[in-house]
Structures are given as structure tokens and as C-alpha cells.
Chain A
Amino acid sequence: MRKKWSGLALAFGAMVFSATAYAVPPTAEILSYACAGCHGTSGASAGPSMPSLAGQSKVFFIDAMKKFKSGERSGTVMTRLVKGYSDEQIVAMADFFAKQKRATQTTAVDSALVAQGKVIYDNACKRCHLENGKEFEEDTPVVAGQWLKYLQIQMGEFRDGKRKISEKKAEKVKSLTAADWEAVAHFYASQK
């Protein structure tokens, strides 16, 4: 087989070498591997303020990227990096990370706050963040097992109005105090 085609291959060789037109467009893998520098191999984050993307809801991932792109969700590096990708590429990456096994970490949590957070979760969060935040429903993210630091940053942004709260969520969380948000963060971080 090799011999049979080698003459032809050599004839086309220069063309193959010089033209990416004969390479396939970036795959989900090659696109997503690049994210690991900040989000960890296969999206399992080792950094306390960086979210794990492994096992994340595909719908949520796409939605979050769209919001970073439009500026609806504020950010630092993400609002810039997201502009480097087409909508199709974002879908491919969402698919890649959704297929990875959900990551957990070893944050130290306060057990009293975890218990307090559980009560708040049952009252206010459970209907959308299913199974203690381990499962997702459409556009709600998987939050269980994320780093405490990351959860605290996000809860803080919801609390201070820096991150927009969806209407269905706003109704549920309007009465939460800063201490309540903190307790919920500990609860989600404690989930394995």
C-alpha cells in the first residue's frame, strides 16, 4: 500500500506540507486541550479559584460562553479568550467537557456551615441544582465538588449583583444573607 501510493504522495507532498487545507478543522480535542493550562487536564481544576469544567452541563457551558462573548457576564481573561472561538467551536468544547468525568477536590470546609448550607439548599436551590448540585437541568450548572474559593467568588458576585441572576433564581435567593451564600458555598464544596 505504501509503495503503491508513495509516488503520488511525493508528488503531492509539497502541497500537503504547505497547505492546512488538507488538514481537518480543529477538533473538539485540540480546541479543549488548550483550556487545560488554566482549568486542568480534561477540565479537572487543581487551582482553588478556577472552576472545573469536567462533567459540566453542555447547555450551561454554551450559555456561559455566549454571555462572556456578549459581555452579559463580566470576566477577566474569559471575556477576551472567548472571542477567539466560533459558535460551532464553543459547542464542540462544551461537548468535550460534558463527556469528562466530573471532578472533585479536597477543599477544607466548615462542617457547621455545610449543615447550614444544606438547609438553604433544600429550601432555595434544590429544584434546579439537582442531587446536591451533582446533576444539572438544562442550563443550570453542575456546582457540586467545585473549589470553595471559586464558589465563594461566584456567590459573592451573585450577592453583590455583579453576576446577573436568572429570574427563576432571583425569586428564590432574594432573602439570602451574606452568611447564607457562604454556607451554600461550603455545602457545594463538600460534595464528592
Chain B
Amino acid sequence: MTMERRNFLKLLGAGAGVATLGLAGCATTNKAGARKVVVVGGGYGGTIAAKYIRMQDPTIEVTLIERNDHFVSCPFSNLYIGGLLPDLSSLTIKYDQLATNHGIKVVQAEVTGIDAKAHVVKTSAGDFPYEKCVVSPGIEFRTNEIKGYDPEIMPHAWKAGPQTVLLRKQLEAMKPGGTVILSIPLAPFRCPPGPYERTSMIAMYLKEHKPGSKIIVLDANPDIVSKKGLFLKGWEKHYKGIIDYRPAKKVTEVDNKNMSVLVEGIEEIKGDVINIIPPQKAGHIAHVAGLVGDDGKWCPVRSFDFESRKYPDIHVIGDSSIAGAMPKSGYSANSEAKVCATNLVAMMNGRKMTEMSAINTCYSYLSAKEAVSVTGVYRVNASSQAIEAVPGSVGVSADLSETEAMYAESWIRNILVEMSS
């Protein structure tokens, strides 16, 4: 590379930072936020963004704002529903070690809004000015698309915690020979293979503890969304006669008194336990802050650092973002957070950004001892600028595997330890 070219690139690198500040039109006026990053949401994305910013530049002040004092992992919560885990404690993390080890300020508060122009995150515990903001709010449900929906009667259990416990208790209380209904929304939704893993785990529980029971799966999608061949193989092997899978069945209404669901407003199906996973959209705060795109659901972002297409200096990662070919998963959020953190640190220090490279690996359990996985390595396509899978890296397991179940257990340990320490 010639000297001229190097200087040109350097100039562009620095220019990106200046232009960003220029667009915001306030970084020079908002001195309070200088060298400060505010991270909204303490889940798979937020914890990692906060940690990896501090790991790469301890001179940047990082505040992590989360409404709860703990986080419960959705990945692996299906194992609790199926009876493989006694409780959710092994899936629960706290923030104290993360805070001490990396000097992150953790604030337990409700975020009420983000003033993008003034560069301030507004919360129940006061205002937090920022130079850069990372938003990782997970998902919210489009409950208005299911008439009569009440999660206390028909739990979603798609945000781990009390809802997961409620579904488990309902299954325990069900009489033998009962019917469970599981309703799956149209994609995209959080964790593409998740509903089918849940089907497997509920079927496993019914087989062992509720003889004569069955599970009716009403899938709004035309077919199984993820790992189809492997799920069908596992269902055939372990749960023949227990799983009644019905594609293209969109639940539009529920009757809480009669414990029934209506498919497309016409076909009524009764169940003893009804698990409705409603259609989804970006987390609440993404809507309040105006980060959601024209579809009214998800947040458009620039692919190599996840900066919002709506406002400069706000980055959206995890389930809420439109991340091209990357699925909405815990691993994706973890990997996106690192890409975002690395480039955010680069920008704040006037360095050039780095092209993204990210991974997704999702394990699903089919039985007490067998799991399967899907993998992918992701990059930005140079011409389309969209996030795409690197050819050859996307694939699923060859078969149901006990080894993969062992690896899955180590995966959940590693990723939760990474988030909490």
C-alpha cells in the first residue's frame, strides 16, 4: 500500500467519526456524555457489549442499565419445562462479578426513553448522557394479533422466568390423557429451532409422566422452520403417537374460559394446557426510542457495527436488530455484541472500523441425552452490504447425538460464565 493510500484511509477512518458526531449535531455540546457508553439491557447482547468495550478500552466509562437484578437464560429453559433441570437457578446470572471484574456501572432501572438528539438515556433512576449507546432489549410480543390473549392463562414462556415456571406447573397439574397445545408464530421470531425443541421436551415429559397425553403443535409457518429433518427423526424415534404436528395453522384468537384456540378465526381446538408463543417484534424500548423500521417490528442497522439506521450513535444488537442472515439467537446476540463493541471502541478512538465476523451455534435437545446443532459463520457481503453466511459454514448435525448434548451443556456454562464474569 502506498503512503498516499494509507493516509487516505486514515483520513476516512477519522472522518467517519467526525461525520457521525456531525450528524448527531450535539456531541460537541453534550460534554457530559463524552467517553461514556450506556448499554440498555442485561441479556445475551448487553452484558457482552459492556464487557468487551471495557476489555478493549478501560478509559471508556460503561453503564449497563437493566430493569431486573438478574437474568434468566431462554436457551436451556426448555430443559426445565421437560423436567431435565430441577429449577432455573443454573440458568440465572447476576451482574456483581461482571461489574467488579470489568469496572462496569450496573444500574437497576427502567429505561423510559432515549433522547437521540441530546444523547441521553432516560430512566426511572435519572438521566444517563452518552457518547454512544448500545440497545439490546430482546423481544416484545405482538399480542394484539391474538384476540383475548392472556399469558397468565396460556403462558408464552418465551422470556425465561416466572412464565417458564407457570408452564411447567400447568404441565405437572395436567391429568394423564390430557392435551397440550403449542402455538408457533410466523417467522421471524426469537430462536428459530426453539419451538421444536420445546415440542420435544414437552413430549418427553408427557411420555414419562402423563401416559396417554398428546401435544398438538399449531405452526403458523408452512413447515418446520429449523433443523426439520432432525426434529422429525427424533419425534419418530421417541415420541410416536404423542406429537401431532400441524403446519400452516395460525392461531388468531383464544377462549380463556373454554380453554380453546381458534385457528384463522374458524377452527376451534381445545387443550388442557395451552402454550401460546405470540408473534414478536423488537423490545419495548426500541419502539419508544424510535429505532424500529418501516415494518413496525424490527430495527434496521448498519451491518458492520450495528449502528441504528434511524439515529446515529445508537447501536441495536440481538433479537431486536435486523441482522441479515443471522438468526435471532443467544449466540448471535453474543457475537454481534463483540462486533459492535470492537467497532464502537475503534470509532471512539478515531481508528478505522473492522469488518464484521460472527458466529452462531444453536443446540436443541431432542431427548434427555440427545441434542443436535446448527452452525454458521457470518460476514458482510462486500457488494450488498448485507450480513451473509460464509458458504459452507452453515449446516446441521448429521444425526441425533449424545456427544452434542455434552457439548451443549458446556456451551451454556461457557456463555453464561462469559456474560456474568
Contact = CB atoms under 8 A, between A and B. Distances in A.
Contacts of B356: 26, 30
Contacts of B56: 29
Interface of A: 2, 5-6, 8-10, 12-13, 15-27, 29-31, 33-41, 45-50, 76-77, 80-85, 89, 149, 153
Given A38-B410, A45-B410, A76-B404, A13 B357 contact: no
Contact of B355 (A16, A23, A46, A83): A23
A20 B382 contact: yes
Contact of B338 (A8, A24, A34, A76): A34
Nearest to B342: A30
Contact of B15 (A9, A21, A38): A9
A17 B16 CA distance: 7
Given A13-B15, A34-B338, A37-B414, A80 B394 contact: yes
Given A23-B352, A40-B417, A48 B410 contact: yes
Interface residues on B, range: 35 or more
Contacts of B393: 80-84
B24 interface: no
Nearest to B336: A34
Nearest to B333: A37
Given A12-B15, A20-B382, A34 B406 contact: no
Contacts of B385: 18-20
Interface string B388-401: 01111111010001
B418 A36 contact: yes
11 contacts: A5-B11, A5-B15, A12-B12, A20-B303, A20-B355, A22-B9, A33-B338, A49-B406, A50-B407, A83-B391, A84-B376
B302 A17 contact: yes
Contacts of A27: 342, 354
A81 B15 contact: no
Contact of A76 (B23, B407, B417): B407
A16 B415 contact: no
B304 interface: yes
Nearest to B335: A34
A35 B407 CA distance: 14
Contacts of A47: 409-414
A46 B415 CA distance: 9
Nearest to A83: B392
Nearest to B417: A46
A16 B19 contact: yes
Contact of B407 (A77, A81, A83): A77
B95 interface: no
Given A25-B355, A77-B361, 18 more contacts: A6-B15, A6-B18, A8-B15, A10-B18, A22-B12, A27-B354, A34-B357, A37-B414, A46-B413, A50-B407, A50-B411, A76-B397, A76-B403, A81-B393, A82-B393, A83-B391, A84-B359, A153-B406
B334 interface: yes
A177 to B, nearest CB: 23
A159 to B, nearest CB: 15
A77 B360 CA distance: 10
A16 B342 contact: no
Given A34-B338, A49-B409, A40 B377 contact: no
B280 interface: no
Interface string B361-394: 1000000000001011111101001000111111
Contacts of B394: 80
B411 A38 contact: yes
B377 to A, nearest CB: 2
Nearest to A35: B359
A5 B414 contact: no
Given A35-B359, A37-B331, A77-B407, A23 B304 contact: yes
Contacts of A39: 414
A17 to B, nearest CB: 7
B188 interface: no
Contact of A37 (B52, B353, B354, B415): B415
Contacts of A50: 407, 410-411, 414
A81 B410 contact: no
Interface in B313-349: 331, 334-335, 338-339, 342-343
Contacts of A85: 377, 390
A76 B401 contact: yes
Nearest to B377: A84
